[in-house]
Structure 1
Amino acid sequence: MRAFLTPGLRHRLVPGALAIALLAATTAPAQGGSPPLPSSLPVHGDAECEVWARELGFAASVAAHDVEAFAAHVDPDAAFGSGQVRPLRGREAIVQAWAGLIAGREVRLAWYPTRVTIAAVPDIAWSSGPALYEAVDPVASPRHRIGAFNSVWRRGSDGTWRVIFDDGLQPRPATEAEVAAFHLGRREACPRG
């Protein structure tokens, strides 16, 4: 991601963006290949579909440059860049670090879920899917970067799902075919069981 950002934006974003870039190690191939874009989706239950919808809403908050909506998706006790040496801790620090990505002046970030899992603990969920970074400057090189994200959600006492842990890998340049596949893979409707 460092080569993808201008020096001014890099200074503001890299500490947070690398720690919070929604590109998960657990969903990317081991040796630098493309992140998987699933050909088929798993079946989800009702609660998992609630998280699916929240994940789409979280991504929509960034697409709409809506800081308040973004913050509403982040748990007050969240840690972003969970696998990093120095994760961002707390909603305020996360929102501040994400300010450049939310504003979208130099880079636009888009993502969507392809998998949501809830185990025996009904108030904790895991979600993952692809993420696409697009440089606003049409002559930027590379113009697109791609990866995958991994988030853990917690349902609060108010019944609302919020991200408690988030992490990922540094994005890598994307081919035109990967960008097209990313856009074609988006599903608004959660695949229900």
Structure 2
Amino acid sequence: MTMLARLSSAALLALASGGVLAAPPEAARQAECAVWQRELSFAQSVADHDAAAFAEHLHPDAAFGVSQKPTRGREAITREWTPLIDGTALKLSWYPAVVTSGGDGRTAYSSGPALYEDPKTGETRIGRFGSVWYRTDEGVWQVLFDDGIAPQKADAAAVQRFHDGRKAQCPAA
């Protein structure tokens, strides 16, 4: 049997046994659900206009806007986000649609839709966010990196789909 045939046989055996397609281990599911709830809590801090709670979700060395010129550090990010947190610039809401934990037990990625509502014009836009979370030595998940996709105008049906898509419970639970 050639090396290629042996590798192909091993790959097929792994697929057939469920090794590649198996559900994540319990520890991964627990981490994903913890980050899911933490992401919801992070969004709630903005909905509640609570700058202290917002800052508590940030790693001290976090970087936001990482695909461009990032803002670095908890204090700088909180300062930059003040008009969003207090709701004067935009009403911002978001929720996770997917959370995937890293194999190290200390990192996870969350992503989902974000709704931007302009309180002055009433214009509504929908974008997406992506965040990398880090579990501290104390076991607290904090955002380490954050970025998003520029929002696009949204009609009433898109806004309704946004609201309908929010799940309070982690799908991995």
Give the shorter-chain TM-score range: 0.7 to 0.9
Paired position in structure 2 for 1:45: 29
Q: Which has the higher contact order (CA 8 A, sep 6+)?
A: 1
Structure in which a larger fraction of residues adopt strand: 2
Residues 119-141 of structure 1: CA distance to partner in whole angstroms, max 9, x if unpaired? 2111000000000001113xx16
Task: Provide the C-alpha distance between the structure 2 equivalents of 1:182 and 1:169, rounded to a whole number of angstroms.
Answer: 15
Task: Provide the C-alpha distance between the structure 2 equivalents of 1:117 and 1:169, rounded to a whole number of angstroms.
Answer: 19
Task: Provide TM-score, normalisation by structure 2.
Answer: 0.82
Match of 1:127 among 107, 110, 116: 110
Paired position in structure 2 for 1:189: 169
Pairwise CA RMSD of aligned residues? 1.6
Q: Which residue type is aligned with residue 174 of structure 1?
A: A
Percent of aligned positions that are identical: 52
Paired position in structure 2 for 1:102: 85
Paired position in structure 2 for 1:112: 95
Paired position in structure 2 for 1:27: none
Q: Which runs of 5+ in 2 are unaligned?
A: 1-22
Task: Provide TM-score, normalisation by structure 1.
Answer: 0.74
1:163 aligns with 2:143: yes
* Aligned-residue offset at 1:55: 0.1
Task: Provide the C-alpha distance between the structure 2 equivalents of 1:76 and 1:106, rounded to a whole number of angstroms.
Answer: 25
Task: Provide the C-alpha distance between the structure 1 equivalents of 2:37 and 2:149, rounded to a whole number of angstroms.
Answer: 23
Task: Provide the C-alpha distance between the structure 2 equivalents of 1:190 and 1:170, rounded to a whole number of angstroms.
Answer: 26
Where does structure 1 differ by over 3 angstroms across 4 or more consecutive aligned residues? Answer: none
1:74 aligns with 2:74: no
Match of 1:83 among 60, 64, 67: 67
Partner SS state of residue 109, structure 1? strand
Structure of greater Rg? 2
